[in-house]
Structure 1
Amino acid sequence: MTRRRPLAIAIAIAAALGLAAPGRSAPAAQAPDLSGLHAFDLRVGKWKLHNRVLKARLAGSHEWLEYDGAQTWWSVLNGWGNVDDTRLDKPDGAYSGATLRAYDPKTGQWAIWWLDGRTPTAKLDPPLLGRFVGGVGTFYNDDTLRGKPIKVRFIWSKITRSSAHWEQAYSPDGGKTWETNWITDFTRVG
C-alpha cells in the first residue's frame, strides 16, 4: 500500500500541472482565448479627435498642448487585427502616423505598434501588449526616454459607437508611479 501512494501522488501532481498520467491520454488542447477579440470592433470608421499632450514628459511639467486631428480605422487580418491612419494637427505642424493592432488567441492579448510618419524608416518599437478587462484595455511595454529606461502604458476606455477615450502614461520607476502625458478623446464622424 505504501508503494502505491507515491504513484497516486505523482498522478495527482501531473493532473494538476496538466501533464498526462501514465496510462492516460494527454489533456485536450486549450481552447483559444477570444474574450477580447471584438474589443476594438466599434472603432472601425472615421473619427475626429481632440488631444491634450503634456509639453514635457517626466520633467515635472503641468503645461498641456491641445490640438485636434482625424483618424480612419479599418479591420484587417479577417477581423484578427486593425489599422488606423491618424493625422495630428499640432500647433507647430501636422503629421501623420499609423497604428497596427493584432490579436493573439493563444494569449488573449492585443499587440499594438505605432509607425510615426515623421520617421517612417525607423525601426518599429516592440509592441505594447495587453488585454481588455471590464471594457478597459490596458497595454504595456518597455522603452527609453532621454537615455533612461521607462515603462509605457496605454489605456483604452469608454469605447462606444460614437466615442472613445485613450491615455498614454510613462513610469520612470518600473511601474510604481505613472505620469499621464497624452489624452485623446474620439468622436465619430458621420
Structure 2
Amino acid sequence: MQSAPNLTHLHDFDFLVGDWHVQHRQLKARLAGSHEWVEFDGTCSMHKLMNGYSNVDDNVINKPSGSYKGVGLRSYDPVSGQWAIWWLDSREPFADLDPPVKGNFVNGVGTFYANDTLNGKPIRVRFTWSHITADSAQWEQAYSPDGGQTWETNWVMHFTRVR
C-alpha cells in the first residue's frame, strides 16, 4: 500500500507569488576573505505551476557590470516533504544546472542545502528565506568550504512587493 503524500510543506512558497522589487547585496569575491559588497536592484515575478507542486520565478538582475536574467525553478516532492530549487542564468543558458538545493520551512524560515563546487573545490551551499511578511521577504545565499562548520553569506536579497 502506498503511503499518503506529505503535503505539510506544499504551500511554503505561496508568499512569493506575484511581482517584487529586489534590492541585492553581493560579496565581490566568494570564499576569498572579501568584505567588499556590491549593491544593485532587480525584479522578480513568481508564478505557481502544476497545481502548486512547482513554481517558477523570472528575475531581472541589474548588476553594475550589466543586467541579465535568471529563472528560479522549484519543485515539491510529496514523498520527502522537501522542495528542490534550481537556477538558470541567461549568461550561460546552455550550462548544466547546478545541483538543486533541497529543504523546507520550519517556524517561518526556509533552509535549503546542496553540495557543489567553487573554483574546483567542494563547497556546501545554503539558501535561507526569512523575514517573510505579506509585502516583504529576505533571501540569503551562503557557502561553506568545510562541510557546513562555518558559513560565509555572499548574497542577500530584500524583496518588496509591487502593488
Band of TM-score, shorter chain: over 0.9
Counterpart secondary structure, 2:30: coil
- Corresponding position: 1:165 with 2:138: yes
User: Deviation at 1:42?
Assistant: 1.6
Q: Measure how far apart 1:158 and its partner are.
A: 2.0
> Tell me, which stretches of 5 or more residues in structure 1 are unaligned?
1-27
Query: What letter matches 2:67 in structure 1?
Result: A
The answer (yes or no) to whether the contact 1:50–1:66 under 8 Å persists in 2 is yes
Among 47, 53, 75, the alignment partner of 1:102 is 75
Match of 2:35 in 1: 62
Deviation by residue 1:58-96 (Cα, 9 ceiling, x = unmatched): 011100000000111001111111100000000110010
Pairing 1:139-154 to 2, within 5 Å after superposition: 139-154=112-127
The runs of at least 4 consecutive aligned structure 1 residues that moved more than 6 Å come to none
Helix, strand or coil at the partner of 2:96: coil
Q: Which of these residues, 93, 98, 103, is aligned with residue 120 of structure 1? A: 93
**1:30 alignment counterpart:** 3
TM-score, scaled to structure 1: 0.83
- Identity over the aligned pairs, expressed in percent? 63
Of 65, 83, 95, 1:92 maps to: 65
The structure that is strand-richer by fraction is 2
Cα drift, residue 146 of structure 1: 0.9
Deviation at 1:29, TM superposition (A): 4.2
Task: Give the match for residue 25 of structure 2.
Answer: 52
Distance 2:67 2:7 in 1: 37
Q: 2:121 is aligned with what amino acid?
A: K
Match of 2:109 in 1: 136
Matched AA of 1:145: L
Root mean square deviation, CA, Å: 0.9
Aligned equivalents of 1:89, 1:125: Cα separation in 2: 22
Q: Contact 1:74 / 1:82 at 8 angstroms: preserved in 2?
A: yes
Q: Which residue of 2 aligns with 1:43?
A: 16
TM-score, normalised to structure 2's length?
A: 0.97
SS class of match (2:51): helix
What is the CA–CA distance in structure 1 between the aligned matches of 2:87 and 2:98, rounded to whole Å?
8
Q: Which has the higher contact order (CA 8 A, sep 6+)?
A: 2
Instruction: Say if 1:43 and 1:159, in contact at 8 Å, map to a contact too.
Output: no
